Structures are given as C-alpha cells and as structure tokens.
Amino acid sequence: MNFLKRFIRNRGAVIGLVILLAVMIFAVIGPTLFPQSPWRMVGRPFTAPFTMDRFPLGTDMLGRDIAAGLVHGARVSLLIGVISTIVALLIGVPLGAVAGYAGGFFDDVLMRFTEFFQTIPSFALAIVLVAVLQPSLASIVIAIGVVSWPPVARLVRGEVLSLRSREYVQAAVTIGQSTPRIIFSQVLPNTIAPIIVMGSLMVASAILLESSLSFLGLGDPNLMSWGYMVGAGRTRLLDAWWISFFPGIAIFLTVLALNLTGEGLNDALNPRLARGRK
C-alpha cells in the first residue's frame, strides 16, 4: 500500500489536512479579501459579530475589523511557525547527526550541551531572548528556534545511532565514501520520516509559542497576530467576548489540524507502528 492510501485511511488526518489547507488559503488570499491594513479603525468599536454585514465577526475596542485581523494573522502565525521550525531543524538535525555518528567524546559533549538547553524552561528563555533582542519577526523566529531544537537533536541522534551499525552504512565505509557523504547520502535520508512527523508537530507548538509571546505583548508591533488579538481583548472578555474568542478558535483549530496531520503522517510513514494493525 502506498503512502497516500495509508494517509487517507486515517480520517482525523484528512480532516486536519483540510482545515490546514483552508487556513493556508486564507493566509494566501487574505490581502486581496481585506486589502486594508488590519490595524485601521474602520467601524464603530464593540460591534457584535453577525450584526453588521460589513463586519461579520464584529470589531474590537478600537473599531478594527476582527475578520481582517484573523486573515492577516493567519499569515503571521503560519510564517512564524514554519520558519522557526526550519531554524530548529537546521540546528537540531546536524547536531544530532554528528553526535550520533561520531559517538564517544563528541556525543557526550554535544548531548550535555543539548541537555543544558533542556534544563531551562523554554518559554522563560524565549521571553528573555525576545526582550533582549527587541520584539521583531526575526527575533521571535530565533527565540522559538533556539528553544525548540533540543528534542530534534535527541531524536536524530537516536535514529543515527541505530542506523550507523546497519550493514549498508558499513558497506558505504568499505567502498571508501567519505564520512560527511555517508551521513548525508546513507544515514540522513533514512531519518526523514520521523523528522517530518516531528516537524509538523513543532509547527503547531511554534504557533502556540508565538501566540503566547504576543499575548504578553512581546510580538512584533507591526504585525497583526492571533496571540496579540487574544491578548488585546482579554480585559473586555466579559462584555466583548468575540474579540478574544475568534482568534482563540483560530489558534485552536490550526494547532489541532497540525497535530492531526502529524499523527496521520506518522502512521503513514511508519506503517509497521501504525495503531490498530497487527
């Protein structure tokens, strides 16, 4: 059975993928739907949702369109989620590969270094990094990347450790391939499946981290993001619930969709570990 068939058999994964695609489409066509800046005050403050055709999801306390904010926020959230995951992979994968393949002293040093990062609470570290570097898109991406690479390094190291003793890797040694070549052409391609799965789940947690940072006011002040919207509406949660509610739902659905897709990828890429089959 091929990969696609196995993926489609997992209904949750398909639902997740559909939600994810919807979010992505909104993110891409958002600027054409809402060409104006989401920061612009376009209507009366505190317009309740579903009361005016112009503002289907209502307006916030400054009269900004929440629907526009959501769509523009989707871009920011997805962008930060994906880029910071790539940053984390770029740090974690080479580190784990070198530690796993070299073994011995290198392994010990690199893994203690990794553990050092794991002992610091990641959210606290992210706050400090963003605060020190000044809140901006780049600093947020770096902060999220820096706090989320250690699990990647550990995963890759474990995979490489077990692949290193495989016979085809030994065969590559005997035909005289250089060590970097063996790592890149023989070992790493066989770790892709778990890395993809982990990556998809990391995008979800990166979106959550970004939202949390924005909620605390550490987001990029020029970018409308879901976390900022939730944070901005929290003081009026009781009388104007929709200001926080809709971006909250957006975060919830996107993260859920990413997790479902990740699980589906896991089942499809590791058919022998898939649940419910013997």
Q: Would you tell me which residues interact with other proteins (CB under 8 A)?
A: 1, 166-168, 170-178, 181, 185-186, 189-190, 277-278
**Closest separation in Å from C-beta 177 to other proteins:** 4
Tokens of 176: 């005289």
User: Residue 51 or residue 174: which is nearer to other proteins going by CB?
Assistant: 174
**Closest separation in Å from C-beta 90 to other proteins:** 21
Tokens of 23: 């979010």
User: Residue 112 or residue 278: which is nearer to other proteins going by CB?
Assistant: 278
Tokens of 246: 């809709």
Q: Which of 198, 176, 203, 223 has the alpha carbon at shortest distance from 75?
A: 223
**Closest separation in Å from C-beta 209 to other proteins:** 33
Residue 169: Cβ within 10 Å count? 18
Tokens of 211: 């939202």
Q: Is 217 left (phi over 0), alpha (psi -120 to 50) or beta?
A: left
**Closest separation in Å from C-beta 98 to other proteins:** 16
Residue 103: Cβ within 10 Å count? 14
Using CA atoms, how far apart are residues 84 and 82, in angstroms rounded to an integer? 6
Under a CB-based contact definition with an 8 Å cutoff, are residues 156 and 191 in contact? yes
User: Residue 53 or residue 167: which is nearer to other proteins going by CB?
Assistant: 167
**Closest separation in Å from C-beta 176 to other proteins:** 4
User: Residue 136 or residue 190: which is nearer to other proteins going by CB?
Assistant: 190
User: Residue 122 or residue 177: which is nearer to other proteins going by CB?
Assistant: 177
